[in-house]
């Protein structure tokens, strides 16, 4: 039988749960796109987005998804025939590299595998060896949404600049913006890309590129940049449509305004980060506890290298797929598939699942997700350690004091 | 700190969680109220409501809340100066009696307290003693939303009729309709009242009275019935406005149509009842487990007398209030107060809380609620038995097989 | 063919068009009904509603429609066997009288027909003749939604009180509250009833009774008042549920809050009234112009006796029904039927139609309605005077300067 | 004073009015993006979109606006250094050419001005002279949203192919898809681009490229195509994310499904086109009538070259700007600015305005718009011919018979 006649709980690592308030903010007639309230609203969001990113640089809106922002960032800064250094810690940085190749950019990959963060020393070594400064940019993710590893963007930034190498430092914060600390300027990031559908709690369909003066300088070196991706007119538009290279994404913008109010004004960015950290730690505690029976592991072993936004879990016996099916079909919780952890058509693929815990999440949503996984383990007779839910609750109880 | 930036989970015993689909169905322009789709939609809902109640009798809509349906039922059937027998198993049947008094009706109460269901033998004895048939109606609740007791409406109906006494058998199903079995005709109920905001998952503001031919006969005996409550023109209207004694509650009706589809067509009434039973049993298992430390009890001791829609819990040390506060303010779960269990201004009032588990509920919502209570117990250092959440999950896992 | 794939325009005299903002404000999860934001919101609306009515007295919310507020007002003030004086200027005051009869109240009707307002002199004469003060209350409408007549509530109030007769002065403002000036205290009104679904722009399902100390005194004289209608506990509740005699109409209240903001804070009540007056005058100009061909008339001849909220129109040749059908089925405008102007089953009924122009209305909605009627006249080859739309526009243009 | 407290009527040439149903369809929780209902829904929309375009070819979704689809179409078919022929009939085809230049494509423009459609003979001549087939593609709009001219895409297609020249025939149907007939295959169009925010009635943020086998062949000739714009994996995806080069625009897709149902199933595409034609003709009649006083003209003189979706109007005395201001600020109708008709910073710019009449439009919306413009003319004392509204109504009345 199904026990699901309630609100489906989406616990995939993006798109995340959209708050009712954001949906309501989007439930509006189409506005005038030439002047009036929409224009003012957009201009008012720019400082808010910059605050979110920790930058005094610029922010550009694109009607696109995350992959599109990768293309945008590269299109403005690296020409065909030039080279970028890709720091692989899962499929997402590698994917960015693949996009670069379709632009005619040469890529050089250092692959740290699916369970490790970037080894900064290797990067330093490589940069110091690049005497001709052939490497125009370094591509890395803060959080890999697939492996759930988190890289130390601050330390990497310090190390890169310490080498004296001029390469642009470009960071993907798709899953980390609005879920864990990011200080673009302080961390010496030149270009940062993100989307609206994870920490920002807006339906998919809008992306952002943040950039500093070094990035502007790289843009000026380009022979040409395609109209849609060119950030130059978007940064300093004379008319509203130039900010979007055409018609603006009216309803996404209305939703984003509401989400930014929730994050920056009502909850406060520090508290948002802390909340994500506590929930992540609660989830890790539960998984460790279940895993004591030897059938389930956190993909990232070192706690300080784990994302606060998504947790990637490995099982044996193809339990991952069974757990996901039970949660989705019987109970009403949608967990993430192990995207990028194995070939999606191989049986091994069913050994992975992910819990998305980003954005609009509170205690009952986290505990409802964990409780449902626990019920699945019992319903499916999958051996698991006892006390997982109480272990999670000890984390939450302690944090709440 | 607060850990609540997700969707608030309302776990009070009504109003219950309104499904997004029902809210969407209500997000409509005002319709024509004289003819056209609204009129057809309303007529189409009548057989559905009757199916829900298990009756071939009539159903009447009132724009009112639950208390209003009490007044409606009495206004059509019992005249000032006549007498009704009130079977108290908590504040709600007693409240119905209090309404009767404001209509000039004499009441006689048999009070079974706050932890027991109706003792059928006592009712038989009283009816058999009423040689002159002074008792015109018997008022009882199927589920008392305060105490969470459930009366055996079928057995009581058989017993009443077996005495040969002609009193109308009037049952309040405010919390039970759409959450646990009710077969009005088979159980020999003459008048049944309910509302839209619990098992029917629609925002508060509409009530229903179901009635059979014995009730119609009682109506015909009345000298007069006030315009608003009179069910005669509402049952057989010539124009739509007569069904509502004026303007219909357009948006509630649109919401109700969607909710009835969810219950009757998509999930199926049998499954709805089973789902509620499983969730109730899971909650009982958790409370029993927590309670092994001696600080918390289910109000109703006998499982077969407990509601499937709401669970009333007693604590010592005023823990109830503390738990409610933590869940609401820190975590995002709203639990019910112990309405009617003690004087709301007395310190003892803080020893009670209730979990509403009716309507639009699935596994993560139930387990999110229980998990949050468990976290509260830990955060507040309230002694409690271990394993409560896993006990609940064993119930759910077993049921799902 | 149909030319309707746009937003249906509802131009019936209630329910009126619900603003998108009000629908959005109602698109919310169910709230906690015991304490917190809902409770505070409700308390904050009471001074706003009183400002709307022009009173320092009290206001009571009922989950009901307009007919229910008639019953509420009478149930608190006039006992069975007592008498009220009904001043008929269309079906609505007469309907209030019919409700009184179902409460056992004796009614005496002075009927001024369907095209005239109250003749104050006749009322004075009758009151002066009532030496024993048998008349307990006088029932009258400010605007009759059927005939579209408007009574001079101020002058009538002065006249009643000048006779020295103590009868309560009870006024129905169903269509006039929030559409044209009403100053309850200054006009010496004792009890005023209205609903949420016309000038207040909220879906049908909630009504209001406003009352002063004379009305309170009448309540105290009553032997008993039924629980649901009794306004005494509702005026001074100890707990929130007492204000509603049970569960509050959560979503209607959220919608009303938004509507009151629109009226009182954003547009301003004076401007709301002026806007309604201008639109009414524009409509009258168009109808007069069409009517120069002898097939159509405004029901109320004297402009100063016409409502600003609704306009009732008479046709010959059963044109009214044909116009309504064309507007509804071909064009997308729903006009009001001639409710109460003739037997709904008689052919004559098709000679009437009404334009509702209350609430959420702006220039394109008014001119879209008039333009569509003009198109209907042409499509149906109904003789009509030329220049009607331009006549309406002269009114609007002049007012806008 | 303002007379606007109703629903703002947006009569700009896109974004158009979004139906309430479409907004409701978008008011949904985020769905699972890997499998399940969303995936099935998307696959089901593809035949519907192809039916809309009149093609058996392929359709590709892009998260982008109209300008982005221009870039998409070119990126897949024309390499840097190659040449396209731009047929200018207003700023939009010229804009497409400007996008081509940013891709390194050489453009050759034949500019037919702002009041004429394409002169097919000139195109034939040019193609016949292109002996080396240097021209890789021909760029033209069906409707220029600025000038409101409509080109004869069928005749132009026949003529192009009759020359034997192999250039791809690429047509922008931004404003014409879903508003006037388009038969891509029959008209020999190779690549057609459009967006969701005009005839398709969905908020801005999604675009479409339709393509046939000749276009596929051109793609295969390209050395490389950037990841985001490459249509090859999007046409035949193995996993859902490939169709969107990443996360799909979940909510736009849900809205589009509803809009397609309205167009294809409920109203029928033929009727949609006829409705747009009738409304356009009604608007032309009104403008001609107003213009008899010599202060206002339709931009396109020949009726058979006028768009059915948008009407561009020229005034003298800077009346255009005054009319727009009055309609927007006093009345509640937003008209389009004369985008592209003059320098936006010059005084002459205020001589232009546009009426958007595409998508979710019915009789009261069209007549409300025209009525409001008529009121503006009167309020502003702008000389204008009489009878404009009745002239429009004669068109509508005649069409409705």
Shortest distance, CA D5 to any CA of chain C (angstroms): 5
SS3 content of chain C, % helix, strand, coil (to 5): 45, 15, 40
Facing residue for B28 by CB, picked from D20, D28, D29:
D20
Non-local (6+) Cβ contacts of A148 within 8 A are: A13, A299, A300, A306, A307, A310, A311, A312, A354
Residue A86 belongs to some domain of the structure: yes
Which pLDDT score is estimated for B34?
Answer: 86
User: Hey, which chains touch D, using 3+ CB pairs under 8 Å?
Assistant: A, B, C
Shortest distance, CA C389 to any CA of chain A (angstroms): 27
Q: Compute the distance between CA of residue C137 and CA of residue C126 in angstroms, rounded to an integer.
A: 13
Mean pLDDT estimate for chain C: 97
Shortest distance, CA B125 to any CA of chain C (angstroms): 31
Tens-place pLDDT, residues C267-304: 999 999 999 999 999 999 999 999 999 999 999 999 99
Facing residue for A63 by CB, picked from D98, D99, D205:
D205
Q: Which of A264, A290, A308 is the last residue of a domain?
A: A264
Q: Compute the distance between CA of residue C368 and CA of residue D396 in angstroms, rounded to an integer.
A: 13
Task: Tell me which chain C residues have a C-beta less than 8 angstroms from the C-beta of A266.
Answer: none
Shortest distance, CA C275 to any CA of chain D (angstroms): 6
Determine whether the interchain pair A375/B368 forms a contact, defined as Cβ–Cβ distance below 8 Å.
no
Task: Tell me which chain A residues have a C-beta less than 8 angstroms from the C-beta of B272.
Answer: 5
Shortest distance, CA C231 to any CA of chain B (angstroms): 13
Cα angle B148-B65-B245, degrees, rounded to a multiple of 5: 150
Which pLDDT score is estimated for A36?
Answer: 87
Lowest mean pLDDT among B25-39, C222-236, D151-165: B25-39
D282 and D135 in a single domain? The answer is: no
C259 and C273 in a single domain? The answer is: no
User: Hey, which chains touch B, using 3+ CB pairs under 8 Å?
Assistant: A, C, D
Name the 3-class secondary structure at C223.
coil
C75 and C171 in a single domain? The answer is: yes
Lowest mean pLDDT among A373-377, C237-241, C329-333: C237-241
Facing residue for C386 by CB, picked from D326, D372, D390:
D390
User: Residue A293 corresponds to which tokens in the numbers above?
Assistant: 């029976």
- Confidence band for B4, pLDDT divided at 50, 70 and 90: confident
C136 phi and psi angles, rounded to 5 deg:
-85, -30
Minimum CA–CA partner of D26 in chain B: B24
Residue D130 belongs to some domain of the structure: yes
| Per-residue model confidence as pLDDT tens for chain D (401 residues) | 788 889 999 999 999 999 999 999 999 999 999 888 999 999 999 999 999 999 999 999 999 999 999 999 999 999 999 999 999 999 999 999 999 999 999 999 999 999 999 999 999 999 999 999 999 999 999 999 999 999 999 999 999 999 999 999 999 999 999 999 999 999 999 999 999 999 999 999 999 999 999 999 999 999 999 999 999 999 999 888 999 999 999 999 999 999 999 999 999 999 999 999 999 999 999 999 999 999 999 999 999 999 999 999 999 999 999 999 999 999 999 999 999 999 999 999 999 999 999 999 999 999 999 999 999 999 999 999 999 999 999 999 999 98
pTM for the whole structure: 0.97
D259 and D273 in a single domain? The answer is: no
Q: How many domains does chain B have?
A: 2
Tens-place pLDDT, residues A300-318: 999 999 999 999 999 999 9
Residue B345 has pLDDT above 80, yes or no: yes
Which pLDDT score is estimated for C280?
Answer: 98
User: Hey, which chains touch A, using 3+ CB pairs under 8 Å?
Assistant: B, C, D
C272 and C260 in a single domain? The answer is: no
The mean per-residue pLDDT over the stretch C157-164 comes to 98
Tens-place pLDDT, residues A75-113: 999 999 999 999 999 999 999 999 999 999 999 999 999
Task: Tell me which chain D residues have a C-beta less than 8 angstroms from the C-beta of A32.
Answer: 10, 12, 328, 334
The mean per-residue pLDDT over the stretch A331-342 comes to 95
Determine whether the interchain pair B8/C15 forms a contact, defined as Cβ–Cβ distance below 8 Å.
no
- Confidence band for C257, pLDDT divided at 50, 70 and 90: very high
Task: Tell me which chain B residues have a C-beta less than 8 angstroms from the C-beta of C70.
Answer: 227
Residue D299 belongs to some domain of the structure: yes
Which pLDDT score is estimated for A161?
Answer: 98
Q: What percent of chain A has pLDDT over 70?
A: 100
Q: Compute the distance between CA of residue B37 and CA of residue B28 in angstroms, rounded to an integer.
A: 13
A184 and A322 in a single domain? The answer is: no
Q: In D103-185, which ranges are continuous DSSP H helix?
A: 120-129, 153-163
Tens-place pLDDT, residues B49-75: 999 999 999 999 999 999 999 999 999
Q: Compute the distance between CA of residue D395 and CA of residue D284 in angstroms, rounded to an integer.
A: 10
Residue A58 has pLDDT above 90, yes or no: yes
User: Residue A272 corresponds to which tokens in the numbers above?
Assistant: 């948002």
Task: Tell me which chain C residues have a C-beta less than 8 angstroms from the C-beta of B67.
Answer: 227-228, 245-247
Task: Tell me which chain D residues have a C-beta less than 8 angstroms from the C-beta of B20.
Answer: 27-29
- Confidence band for A34, pLDDT divided at 50, 70 and 90: confident
Q: Domain range holding A99?
A: 31-264
Q: What percent of chain C has pLDDT over 70?
A: 100
3-class SS letters over chain B: CCCECCCCEEECCCCCCCCHHHHHHHCCCCCCCCCCHHHHHHHHHHHHHHHHHCCCCEEEEECCCHHHHHHHHHHCCCCCCCEEEEEECCHHHHHHHHHHHHCCCEEEEEECCCCCCCCHHHHHHHHHHCCCCCEEEEEEECECCCCCEECCHHHHHHHHHHCCCCCEEEEECCCCCCCCCCCCCCCCCCEEEEECCCCCCCCCCCEEEEECHHHHHHHHHCCCCCCCCCHHHHHCCCCHHHHCCCCCCHHHHHHHHHHHHHHHHHHCHHHHHHHHHHHHHHHHHHHHHHHCCCCEEECCCCHHHECCCEEEEEECCCHHHHHHHHHHHHHCEEEEECCCCCCCCCHHHHHEEEEECCCCCEHHHHHHHHHHHHHHHHHCCCCCCCCHHHHHHHHHHHHHC
The answer to whether residues D321 and D347 touch, using CB atoms and an 8 Å cutoff, is no
Q: What percent of chain B has pLDDT over 90?
A: 97
Residue B285 has pLDDT above 80, yes or no: yes
Residue C2 belongs to some domain of the structure: no
What strand order describes the sheet that includes A207-211? Answer: A58-62, A207-211, A191-195, A168-172, A135-141, A83-88, A106-111
User: Residue D235 corresponds to which tokens in the numbers above?
Assistant: 């046409």
- CATH number of the domain where residue C288 is located: 3.90.1150.10
Determine whether the interchain pair B228/C203 forms a contact, defined as Cβ–Cβ distance below 8 Å.
no
Determine whether the interchain pair C247/B14 forms a contact, defined as Cβ–Cβ distance below 8 Å.
yes
Minimum CA–CA partner of A24 in chain C: C24
Task: Tell me which chain D residues have a C-beta less than 8 angstroms from the C-beta of A67.
Answer: 227-228, 245-247
C105 and C215 in a single domain? The answer is: yes
Shortest distance, CA B164 to any CA of chain A (angstroms): 43
Determine whether the interchain pair B27/D29 forms a contact, defined as Cβ–Cβ distance below 8 Å.
no
Determine whether the interchain pair B3/A399 forms a contact, defined as Cβ–Cβ distance below 8 Å.
yes
Q: Compute the distance between CA of residue C73 and CA of residue B227 in angstroms, rounded to an integer.
A: 13
Minimum CA–CA partner of C259 in chain D: D5
D88 and D214 in a single domain? The answer is: yes
C290 and C317 in a single domain? The answer is: yes
Residue B36 has pLDDT above 90, yes or no: no
- State the DSSP string of D203-231: -S--EEEEE-HHHHHHHHH-S---TTT--
Name the 3-class secondary structure at D311.
strand
C315 and C272 in a single domain? The answer is: yes
Facing residue for B29 by CB, picked from C18, C104, C206:
C18
Shortest distance, CA B160 to any CA of chain C (angstroms): 28
Determine whether the interchain pair B24/D27 forms a contact, defined as Cβ–Cβ distance below 8 Å.
yes
A254 and A284 in a single domain? The answer is: no
Task: Tell me which chain A residues have a C-beta less than 8 angstroms from the C-beta of C24.
Answer: 24, 27-28
- CATH number of the domain where residue A165 is located: 3.40.640.10
Q: Which of A199, A232, A264 is the last residue of a domain?
A: A264
Tens-place pLDDT, residues C73-105: 999 999 999 999 999 999 999 999 999 999 999
Minimum CA–CA partner of D68 in chain A: A228
- Confidence band for A362, pLDDT divided at 50, 70 and 90: very high
Shortest distance, CA A208 to any CA of chain C (angstroms): 28
Determine whether the interchain pair C103/B227 forms a contact, defined as Cβ–Cβ distance below 8 Å.
yes
Determine whether the interchain pair C252/B205 forms a contact, defined as Cβ–Cβ distance below 8 Å.
yes
User: Residue C344 corresponds to which tokens in the numbers above?
Assistant: 């709904």
The mean per-residue pLDDT over the stretch C178-182 comes to 97
Q: What is the DSSP letter of A331?
A: I
Facing residue for A197 by CB, picked from D24, D99, D247:
D247
User: Residue D398 corresponds to which tokens in the numbers above?
Assistant: 């005649």
For tokens 């023109």, the residue is B233
Determine whether the interchain pair D7/C20 forms a contact, defined as Cβ–Cβ distance below 8 Å.
yes
Which pLDDT score is estimated for C4?
Answer: 86
Which pLDDT score is estimated for D244?
Answer: 97
Interface contacts (A, B; CB < 8 Å) = 210
Name the 3-class secondary structure at C61.
strand
Residue A137 belongs to some domain of the structure: yes
Residue C348 belongs to some domain of the structure: yes
The mean per-residue pLDDT over the stretch C195-224 comes to 98
Which pLDDT score is estimated for A360?
Answer: 97
What interface predicted TM-score (ipTM) does this complex get? 0.97
Mean pLDDT estimate for chain B: 97
A92 and A237 in a single domain? The answer is: yes
Beta bridge pairs of residue D168:
D137
Task: Tell me which chain C residues have a C-beta less than 8 angstroms from the C-beta of A18.
Answer: none
User: Hey, which chains touch C, using 3+ CB pairs under 8 Å?
Assistant: A, B, D
Q: Which of C229, C264, C299 is the last residue of a domain?
A: C264
Which of D30, D207, D240 to mutate to probe the A interface, most A CBs <10 Å?
Answer: D30
Q: How far, in Å, are B126, B304, C138 from residue B119 at the CA level?
A: 11, 14, 52
Non-local (6+) Cβ contacts of B182 within 8 A are: B53, B54, B142, B153, B173, B176, B192
Determine whether the interchain pair A203/D249 forms a contact, defined as Cβ–Cβ distance below 8 Å.
yes
Q: How far, in Å, are C191, D171, D321 from residue B200 at the CA level?
A: 36, 52, 53
Residue C37, judged by CB atoms within 10 A of its CB (0-12, 13-18, 19+), counts as exposed
Minimum CA–CA partner of A333 in chain B: B364
Minimum CA–CA partner of C226 in chain B: B102
Minimum CA–CA partner of D27 in chain B: B24
Task: Tell me which chain C residues have a C-beta less than 8 angstroms from the C-beta of A28.
Answer: 20, 24
For tokens 């000298």, the residue is B223
Residue C222 belongs to some domain of the structure: yes
Residue C207 belongs to some domain of the structure: yes
Q: Compute the distance between CA of residue A354 and CA of residue A91 in angstroms, rounded to an integer.
A: 14
Which pLDDT score is estimated for C357?
Answer: 98
Which of C26, C27, C37, C255 to mutate to probe the A interface, most A CBs <10 Å?
Answer: C27
């Amino acid at each position: 039988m199904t026990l699901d006649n309630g609100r489906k709980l989406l616990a995939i690592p993006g798109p995340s749960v959209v708050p009712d308030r954001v949906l309501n903010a989007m439930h509006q007639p189409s506005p005038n796109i030439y002047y009036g309230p929409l224009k003012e609203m957009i201009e008012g969001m720019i400082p808010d987005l910059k605050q979110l990113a920790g930058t005094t640089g610029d922010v550009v809106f694109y009607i696109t998804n995350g992959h599109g922002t990768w293309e945008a960032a590269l299109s403005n800064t690296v020409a065909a025939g030039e080279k970028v250094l890709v720091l692989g810690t899962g499929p997402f940085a590698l994917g960015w590299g693949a996009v670069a190749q379709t632009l005619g950019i040469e890529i050089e990959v250092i692959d740290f595998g699916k369970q490790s963060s970037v080894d900064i020393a290797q990067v330093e070594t490589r940069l110091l060896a690049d005497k001709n400064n052939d490497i125009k940019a370094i591509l890395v993710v803060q959080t890999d949404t697939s492996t759930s590893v988190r890289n130390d963007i601050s330390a990497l930034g310090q190390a890169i600049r310490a080498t004296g190498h001029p390469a642009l430092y470009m960071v993907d914060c798709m899953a980390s913006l609005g879920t864990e600390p990011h200080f673009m300027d302080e961390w010496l990031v030149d270009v940062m890309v993100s989307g609206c559908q994870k920490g920002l709690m807006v339906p998919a369909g809008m992306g952002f590129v943040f950039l500093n003066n070094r990035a502007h300088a790289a843009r000026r070196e380009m022979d040409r940049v395609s109209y849609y991706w060119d950030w130059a007119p978007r940064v300093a538009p004379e008319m509203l449509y130039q900010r979007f290279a055409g018609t603006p994404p009216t309803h996404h913008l209305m939703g984003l305004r509401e989400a930014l109010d929730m994050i920056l004004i009502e909850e406060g960015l520090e508290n948002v980060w802390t909340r994500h950290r506590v929930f992540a730690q609660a989830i890790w505690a539960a998984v460790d506890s279940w895993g004591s029976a030897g059938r389930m592991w956190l993909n990232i072993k070192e706690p300080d290298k784990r994302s606060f936004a998504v947790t990637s879990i490995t099982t044996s016996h193809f339990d991952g797929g069974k757990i996901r099916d039970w949660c989705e079909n019987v109970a009403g919780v949608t967990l993430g598939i192990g995207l990028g952890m194995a070939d999606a058509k191989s049986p091994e693929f069913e050994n992975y699942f992910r819990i998305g815990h980003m954005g609009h999440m509170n205690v009952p949503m986290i505990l409802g997700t964990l409780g449902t996984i626990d019920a699945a383990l019992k319903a499916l007779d999958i051996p698991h350690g006892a006390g997982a839910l109480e272990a999670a609750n000890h984390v939450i109880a302690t944090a709440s004091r």
